[in-house]
Structure 1
Amino acid sequence: MQTDQKKRPVVALTGASGYIGSHLLDKLKERFDIIALSRSGDKRENTDQVTWRSCDLFSQIDTEKGLQGADIAVYLVHSMSPSAKLTQARFEDMDVILADNFAQAAKKNGVKQIVYLSGIIPPDEKLSRHLRSRLEVEKILGSYGVPVTTVRAGLIVGPKGSSFPIAEKLVKRLPVMVLPSWTRTKTHPIALADVLTALQKSVGNKDVADKAIDVGGPEVMTYKEMLEHLAGVMGKKLRSFNVPFPTVMLSRLWVKLISGMPKETVYPLIESLSHPMVAQPSHYVEGISNGQISFDEAARTAMEEEKQSKDSKHSKKPMLPSLPPRQDVRSVQRMPIPSGKDAGWAAKHYMSWVSESLRPFVRTEIDDQFNCKIFLTFTKHPLLILSYAKERSTAHRALYYITGGLFANVKESQRGRIEFRQIPGKQEMVVAIHEYLPSLPWFVYKYTQAPIHMLVMFLYRKHLERLILHKSQPCLQVPQLAAQH
C-alpha cells in the first residue's frame, strides 16, 4: 500500500522523439513517469523514468497498447507529412483517424486527462483548412468523455518547428521581399520554452480540464514587423515593399521555393496567415497563457540552438542505417453518410455498390460473415480478398483486413486493411486504406491501380451525395424517380 502511495502518475507522450516532444519529455520526467511513444520506440533505451514504446497511431490496436497504464496522455500529433510511400490523403482526413484512435484508446485505458497542443483559433472567422482541422481534432479528442485541455499557440519560435524556420529562411535568402496584404495581419509569437511551460503546467492540472487555453508571448506584432525583428536579430536590414492584395495562392509557391520546405507543410500554414492569430482574453488562464520571453530573445536562442545542433551532427558518430522504406500505400477519403445510416451500413453498401456500378467489368462475392471477394468479371481468382473483422468493428467503424488476392502482397504485410470510420458528431466518414502493399510493380501500380482506386472512391462519394439529395427531395418527385427505375 505504501508503495502505491509513492507511485508517480504516468504520462503517455506522443511524438516523444520529435521537435517539441523531446523537450517536453525532459521537463515532465521530473514529476511523472513517462511512456514515450514513437514509431521507432523499440530502438530507444529505457530509463528509470522513461519507458519507450513503438506505436503507430494509425492503428487502433497499437494505440490501445501504447496507452496501457497511462493516467494522462499528451497529444502532439499532426499529419502534415506523407505517412507512406504513396499517400493519397488530405492531412485533415488523416488527422481525424489519428485523433479518433487516440481518444478511443484513452477512454478504454481509463486515462484521466488529454493535453493537446493546437493552434490559436480566431473568433467568428471562416477558418483555413489547417485551423479547421485543429478545431476538429480538439472536438474529436473530447468526444468520448475524457477531459481535454487544449493549449492553443500561434507561431512557435524554435529551431525545428514549421513556421519560424520558414520565416528565418525567407529573411536569410531574399535580398528584397514583396509583402502582400496578409503580412499586415497580427500574430502573437511565443517562445518554445514558454510553450513547454504552458504544457507542463497543464499536465495533471484538474483546474484546466475541458478548457481551451490561448498562449502567446509578451508582444503582438504583424508578420511584417516580425520579419523586421528577425532581420535585426540576424544583423540585417529588411528590404521590402508592400503590395495591396493578398496573393495567398502565389505566396504558397514562392515561400515553398525559397524555404525549400515541402508543400505539405508550407501550403496549409500560408493559407492560415490571413487570420489574426492573437490570444483571446476569453481563453486566458493566469500563469499559463502569458509567455515571458520576447520575440528577439526567442529568435536569438532558436538560431543559436540550430547552429549548435548542426555542429554536433558533424562531431557525432554516423547513425546506423535505417531499414529501406516499404512500398506501402495509405489512401484516405472523406464522404457523407445518408441521414439515419452509419459507417457500418456504408461499408456493406459499398461492397454491393462496387459490383453494381462497375458492371460488367467487376463482380463481388459477399458471404454471411460480410467477407468480400472482388473479381474481374471473367476471372476465377479474386483481385482482392477482404476479411471482415467483426471483433474490431462497430456501427461507427467497419474494419476489413486485406488477406489475399492477385493485387495484394500479403506475404510481406499482414496489416493491410480498409476501414470505414464515422467522424464523431458528424454525418460524415473517412474511408481509409492502411499499410497496403500492392503486388504489381510499383511503377505499374502507381499509374494504373492507384488512380483507378481514386476514381472508384470519387464515384462512391458522388453516389452517396445523390442518395442524400434524393432523400431530401419533396414527396411529389418520388413517383417520377420510381418511374425511372
Structure 2
Amino acid sequence: METLHDNNETARRKRVALTGASGYIGHNLLRQLTDQYDVIALSRRRDSKEDEEHVEWRSCELFSMTDAEKGLAGADYAIYLVHSMLPTAKLTQADFADMDVILADNFARAARKNGIRQIVYMSGIVPENVPREQLSRHLRSRLEVEQVLGSYGVPVTTLRAGLIVGPQGSSFPILAKLVRRLPVMLLPEWTRTPTHPVALSDVLTSLCNSIGNRELYNKTIDVGGPESMSYKQMMIKTAQVMGRNRSFFDIPLLTIALSRLWVTLITQMPKEMVYPLVESLAHPMVAHEERKVKGISDGKVSFEQAAEAALKAEAEQEEQKQEKKRKQKQESSAGKAASIGPKEKRLSDVRSIQRVVLPEGKDARWAGSYYIEWLGRGLKGIVCTEYDGSSIYRVYLRFSGKPILELTYFAERSTDESAVYGITGGAFAKTLDDHAGRLEFLQIPGTQECVIAIHDYLPSLPWFVYKYTQAKVHLWVMYAFRRHLRRMADSGRIPEPQNKQTGTGQLARAARMKQKQKQS
C-alpha cells in the first residue's frame, strides 16, 4: 500500500480510479479502499449514486476515449475490473473479445495521458504448457487485455484468479444454481478438472495490497485459496453447505459444447456469460508456484467458509430486492408511483465490431481511408463515395443525390493506431446533440490486427426494418472487406488510398487538380 511501499511520497491520501465500481467485485472493493484512499468510482451509469466522504462517482463509458480520459483525470492509481460479456447496446454485433480489446486500449491510453502510476488488473489463471491458440476464448481474451494494458508505458500489476467464490458475479452463482436445481447430476469429464477457488474477501485483500507496491509493477501474480479442487468436489461441498442431498454420477460423454447449452438452460443465465466460462472449464486453473507472492497470492478462507458466506449474502440480497419490489408496489397502488421515478428511455442504438488483419506495414489511419474508398469500388454499381478534400466523406447509393451517411474525420482524436470518424449526417443516421455515433479503426498494439467499430449509431430506419436489412448488409460488407484485405496481403499489391486522410486534405486536392488537368 502507498504508505508502506512509496516512502518518498507525501502523506496525502492518494486517489484510486475504480472501474466497474457498481459491479460484483467493484462495489465490495469500494468500501475497503476508502479506509486509505480517495476513490473515483467509475460506472457506465451513475444512476442515483451520490458522492460521499472519500468517494466521487463519475459516469464513464470506456468505449469513448473522451470519457476514459475524463474518468481517470486526477487519479494516482487505477484498478481495471472490466469484462464485457454482456451486450451494452440495443443491438450488439460483436464478440466479447473485440469489445474487451477496445475497452482496454482506451483505458490504457487514457491512463498514460493522465499520468497514472500503476494499473491493477484482475485476470484469470492461465494453464501452463497450453499454446495460446488452444486456450478458450475467455482466457485468450484475458491475455490479450493484459498485453494491451501494458503497451502504453504505465506499469501493470496483473492478478490472476480461478473461480472467485462470492454472492454475485458469474462462476460461483452458476455452480450454486446447478446444485440447487438438480437433485441428480450427470457429471462430464470437465467437472474433474482441477481449479483453485478463492474467496471474494481474499481477492479484495490482494487487490488492496497491490496498489502502490513498486515491487509488483509489471508483474503477473496468481491468486488462490488454501486448497485446489475439482468442480465436482466444489459441487459436493456446496450441496453440503446448502444442507441438500444430491447424487453425482461421472459420465464420459457430454462435450463442452453440449455442456454450455445444458448449463444455460438449467441456470437461466445469459449464454453470452455462460458459454465463455464453460469453455474455460476444460483447462486446469491452479495457481502456479513461480507466480505466487507472499501476502498477495495466499488466500486464507476455505471453500466451505467462502461458499457459506456467499450463499448467506445472496439470500440477504434477494430478500432486500423482494422488499424493495413490495414497497414500490404499495407506493404505486397508493397513487405514489411518481416517487419511483420515471422509467429511463433506452436509445435504439447499435454497436458493431469486427476484426480484420491489415497488410504488413499498414496502420489504422490507412485502414480508415482505404475502407471508405473501397466501399465505392467493392460495391460498385450499388454504392459510391465522395471526399470533400478536407475531412468529410459521404456515402451514396448509386443514382441517389443525397448521401446515406456522412462521416467526418476527427484529426485531433486520431493517430496512426486509432482513426476516428464521426457519423455526422446522412439519410440512414439520426444525429443528436448528446449522442455521438462514430466509426473507429483501432490497431491492436504489437499486431497487424485491427478492430473496426461502429459505436452509438442511431439508425433512421424503423428498428425492425433496420435490424433485418441494413444491419445484415453491414455484416456482409465487413466480411467482404476482411476477405479483400486477406487477398491483398497474399498478392503483395498494397495500394495507397487516393483520398488518404492526413488532416489537411492536401493529397485529395492534388488528386482533384490532376483530374481537372486531364479533363482540360
| Range of TM-score over shorter length | over 0.9
- Counterpart code for 2:234: M
Match of 1:303 in 2: 311
Distance in 2 between residues matched to 1:27 and 1:33, nearest whole Å: 11
Distance in 2 between residues matched to 1:16 and 1:322, nearest whole Å: 23
Contact (CA 8 Å) 1:42, 1:53: kept in 2 or not?
A: no
CA-based RMSD: 1.5
Match of 2:405 in 1: 384
Contact (CA 8 Å) 1:42, 1:52: kept in 2 or not?
A: no
Residue 168 in 1 paired to residue 176 in 2?
A: yes
- Counterpart code for 2:319: D
Match of 2:234 in 1: 226
- Counterpart code for 2:188: P
Match of 1:483 in 2: none
Distance in 2 between residues matched to 1:140 and 1:348, nearest whole Å: 24
Match of 1:408 in 2: 429
Unaligned runs of 5+ in 2: 1-8, 329-339, 495-520
The DSSP-based 3-state class of the residue aligned with 2:225 is coil
Match of 1:92 in 2: 97
Contact (CA 8 Å) 2:225, 2:302: kept in 1 or not?
A: yes
The correspondence for 1:341, drawn from 362, 365, 376, is 362
Contact (CA 8 Å) 2:63, 2:103: kept in 1 or not?
A: yes
The DSSP-based 3-state class of the residue aligned with 2:453 is strand
Match of 2:44 in 1: 39
Match of 1:195 in 2: 203
Distance in 1 between residues matched to 2:483 and 2:81, nearest whole Å: 34
Distance in 1 between residues matched to 2:419 and 2:400, nearest whole Å: 27
1:376-415 deviation per Cα after TM superposition (whole angstroms, max 9, x unaligned): 0100110000000011011111100000000001146541
Match of 2:212 in 1: 204
Match of 2:21 in 1: 16
Aligned-pair CA distance for 1:174: 1.0
Contact (CA 8 Å) 2:183, 2:245: kept in 1 or not?
A: no
Higher mean displacement: 176-185 or 66-75 = 176-185
Distance in 2 between residues matched to 1:117 and 1:321, nearest whole Å: 36
Distance 1:442 1:297, change over 3 A: same
- Counterpart code for 1:121: V
Aligned-pair CA distance for 1:354: 0.3
Aligned-pair CA distance for 1:468: 1.2
Distance in 1 between residues matched to 2:394 and 2:210, nearest whole Å: 50
Contact (CA 8 Å) 1:177, 1:240: kept in 2 or not?
A: yes
Residue 249 in 1 paired to residue 249 in 2?
A: no
Distance 1:322 1:415, change over 3 A: same
1:294-353 deviation per Cα after TM superposition (whole angstroms, max 9, x unaligned): 101100100000111111223345453441211000000010010011111111111111
The correspondence for 1:361, drawn from 360, 367, 382, is 382
Distance in 2 between residues matched to 1:348 and 1:51, nearest whole Å: 40
Contact (CA 8 Å) 1:227, 1:238: kept in 2 or not?
A: no
Residue 421 in 1 paired to residue 421 in 2?
A: no
Match of 1:182 in 2: 190
Contact (CA 8 Å) 1:413, 1:435: kept in 2 or not?
A: no
Distance 1:462 1:223, change over 3 A: same
The DSSP-based 3-state class of the residue aligned with 2:492 is helix
Unaligned runs of 5+ in 1: 474-485
Contact (CA 8 Å) 2:101, 2:145: kept in 1 or not?
A: yes
Contact (CA 8 Å) 1:343, 1:398: kept in 2 or not?
A: yes
- Counterpart code for 1:388: Y
Aligned-pair CA distance for 1:226: 1.0
Aligned-pair CA distance for 1:469: 1.3
1:354-395 deviation per Cα after TM superposition (whole angstroms, max 9, x unaligned): 000101011000122242100001001100000000110111
TM-score, L = length of structure 1: 0.95
Aligned-pair CA distance for 1:42: 6.2
Contact (CA 8 Å) 1:58, 1:101: kept in 2 or not?
A: yes
The DSSP-based 3-state class of the residue aligned with 1:41 is coil
Distance in 1 between residues matched to 2:319 and 2:309, nearest whole Å: 15
Match of 1:371 in 2: 392
Distance in 2 between residues matched to 1:277 and 1:340, nearest whole Å: 37
Distance in 2 between residues matched to 1:231 and 1:432, nearest whole Å: 45
The correspondence for 1:76, drawn from 78, 81, 90, is 81
The correspondence for 1:159, drawn from 126, 143, 167, is 167
Aligned-pair CA distance for 1:61: 0.4
Higher mean displacement: 305-314 or 164-173 = 305-314
1:100-119 deviation per Cα after TM superposition (whole angstroms, max 9, x unaligned): 00000000000000000111
Residue 398 in 1 paired to residue 406 in 2?
A: no
- Counterpart code for 1:265: M
Match of 1:470 in 2: 491
Residue 433 in 1 paired to residue 441 in 2?
A: no
TM-score, L = length of structure 2: 0.88
The DSSP-based 3-state class of the residue aligned with 1:408 is coil
- Counterpart code for 1:24: L
Contact (CA 8 Å) 1:170, 1:258: kept in 2 or not?
A: yes
Aligned-pair CA distance for 1:238: 2.7
Distance in 1 between residues matched to 2:96 and 2:191, nearest whole Å: 25
The correspondence for 2:61, drawn from 48, 56, 70, is 56
Match of 1:460 in 2: 481
The DSSP-based 3-state class of the residue aligned with 1:115 is strand
Aligned residues: 470
Distance in 2 between residues matched to 1:5 and 1:353, nearest whole Å: 56
Distance in 2 between residues matched to 1:321 and 1:184, nearest whole Å: 49
Distance in 1 between residues matched to 2:162 and 2:118, nearest whole Å: 23
- Counterpart code for 1:30: D
- Counterpart code for 1:467: M
The DSSP-based 3-state class of the residue aligned with 2:92 is strand
Aligned-pair CA distance for 1:19: 1.1
Identity of aligned residues (%): 58
Contact (CA 8 Å) 1:348, 1:370: kept in 2 or not?
A: no
The DSSP-based 3-state class of the residue aligned with 1:420 is strand
1:113-147 deviation per Cα after TM superposition (whole angstroms, max 9, x unaligned): 00001110111212100000001001100100000
- Counterpart code for 1:158: G
